[in-house]
Amino acid sequence: MSLLVVALGLRLWGSWFGLPHVFHADEGFEVYRAVRLGMGGFDFDRVAKGGYYYLLFLEYGFYFVWLFVTGAISGVSDFAARFVSDPSGFWKIGRATTAVLGTATVAAVWWQGRRIGGARVGWLAAAFLAVSVQHVVNSHYVSVDVPMTLWTFLAILLVVEDTCGRARLRPWWFAAIAAYAVMNKQPAVLLFIPFFLGTWMRHGPRGGEGLWSRRTAIAVGGAALIYTVGNPGIVVNFGLEVSRAFHTILGTPDPDGDYIQAATAIPNLWAFYGRVLRTSQGPAMLALAVAGLGLGLWRRDRAVLLHASFALPFLVLIASVGTSHLYYPRYIVPILPAVALFAALGVEEIIRALRGPRWVAPAVAVGVGVLVIAEPGLRAVQWDQRMTLADTRALAAAWIEENVPHKAAIVLEGSEEDAAQLGVPIGNLKRNMKRMVVRLAESDPGKAKYWSLKLQTASPPLYDLHAVRHHEDWVSVQEYRDAGIHYAVLRRDFFLTGTRLSERLTSPAVATRAAFYEQLLSTPDVELVASFEASPDGHPGYDLEVWKLADLPAEPGAEAGS
């Protein structure tokens, strides 16, 4: 229990970061889909990942009832207004849920380790996952990586228990868990590799529970049925999803995507994920995991074989993509439970090889365990502590609202339709929001409704925002001046060539960003009026700069279209 408290604490500490602003670009998807479902809408387009929003939808339903019973709201309209004006409560619920699911994964790893190698292996494996940096980090977000990891691990756990003869796999239970895992994120479909392998190892190709049996048909067919019912957009967009997967794996241009051309050559993804694993787990834990995996495979340990049959193909998949932007540290999260298990088995092998009094084994287990978790544990604590500091984007927004005149025209990165994608969270002019509502009314009614409510609650200072998306070109300083732009807000590393951040952008976008930044530096009457520095040991966020391109002409009176 104490270990789970530590695991939960590491995943909750700092989880209110940024609120009421949302700075993690992926968090909005599941929250907005849950709210949209509550309003009677459904997203048929985003089918590659999701599913988590069903759980959030239920939680937000209880949240609504609680607010209504306590008198905090009088009905649905008040609930919607609360979400638009200050969504902190919705994000706190989502982030706390992810933290709990991450902690539940630690508990599942403890249970599986105990079943595989005894109590000591269970505790060591749980401790190793509890302090895993990437698992801790991603357990702070309302995103699908940690939920998908839990459901995938539970599905494989059922297979391991059945294959090792400790429990009988119930096909409908497996189908439901597997379907929900794949619904969360499609690469979870690789969990069927250990399912087929385990079925063949335990029951053979034929027979009542073999590969060609009714049980297998129920498990696979049931999972497909549940997945399709829960994610009906896959039927509508099946061809498009196949095309996207093809372009992603081969690295060919996707005509339906934003990233048309890689800015630079794709890095060595094996080296990239190797560094991520080493940083997340620490070199000692990673070495123990390799040893535990190798010995398990050599001895043909069924549990090790089954967990490896998911983890290794998954690693091959993420390290083999052909696109320049689809590689992130979080992609390793689904294999971290297996890494923790293998490392615990590696420690157990060392202990079994020892000779001496009875106290030697537990002493070595504790000593090695502490040494192994020290490095990743310290990194996790440092990351949590950093997330309690103000984000540079919030600092920049506060500075702009205090120092930049109301109605000033500002060019910045992102999409004006998605506040989480903007460089800084500042308010848009009402006339711009009205245009967005009209434009979105047909293409995205749910988002149009959101901006309609946002329009009602907006208050000065507001700005004439001109957002430039990641694949769009930037023009010259003079062209922005001619268009009436007064300020530019940018993330410096995205405007410098050769940086790891700019390399994820398309080649034309990188060139125009670099040219624009050079003009900022060389134009005499352009002024850098504010900068906000992020650092690994300080404020989270980006290195932000606010540049003044032109003076705002004096124009007293209310905002047009207010």
**Cβ neighbours of residue 388 closer than 8 Å, sequence gap 6 or more:** 13, 14, 17
Q: How confident is the model at residue 521 (pLDDT cuts 50, 70, 90)?
A: very high
Rounded Cα distance between 301 and 293, Å, is: 10
Q: How confident is the model at residue 77 (pLDDT cuts 50, 70, 90)?
A: confident
When mean pLDDT is compared across 10-19, 74-83, 113-122, the lowest value belongs to 74-83
Helix (H, G, I), strand (E, B) or coil at 75: coil
Over residues 25-43, mean pLDDT: 85
pLDDT tens for residues 3-26? Answer: 999 999 999 999 999 999 888 888
Rounded Cα distance between 330 and 325, Å, is: 13
Cα dihedral 344, 349, 355, 357, rounded to 10, equals 20
Query: Of 12, 2, 5, which is closest to residue 381 (Cα–Cα)?
Result: 12
* Other Cβ atoms closer than 10 A to 267: 12
Helix (H, G, I), strand (E, B) or coil at 460: coil
Question: DSSP letter string over 118-182?
Answer: -HHHHHHHHHHHHT-HHHHHHTTSSSSHHHHHHHHHHHHHHHHHHHTTSS---HHHHHHHHHHHH
The pLDDT score that the predictor gives to residue 238 is 67
Phi-psi region of 548 (alpha: psi -120 to 50; beta: other; left: phi over 0): beta
**Cβ neighbours of residue 101 closer than 8 Å, sequence gap 6 or more:** 139, 146, 147, 150
Domain ranges for the chain: 95-386, 392-548
pLDDT tens for residues 351-409? Answer: 887 766 777 777 777 777 788 888 999 999 999 999 999 999 999 999 999 999 999 99
Q: What DSSP designation does 423 have?
A: S
The pTM of this model reads 0.90
Query: Of 148, 134, 135, 58, which is closest to residue 94 (Cα–Cα)?
Result: 58
| Residue whose entry in the numeric block shows the structure tokens 């999972």 | 223
Rounded Cα distance between 48 and 330, Å, is: 16
Q: Which helix (H) or strand (E) holds 484?
A: none
Which tokens hold the place of 378? 């310290």
Rounded Cα distance between 249 and 319, Å, is: 10
Cα dihedral 167, 168, 173, 177, rounded to 10, equals 60
Residue pair 541/425 in contact by the 8 Å Cβ criterion? no
Residue pair 17/92 in contact by the 8 Å Cβ criterion? no
Which tokens hold the place of 450? 């959101």
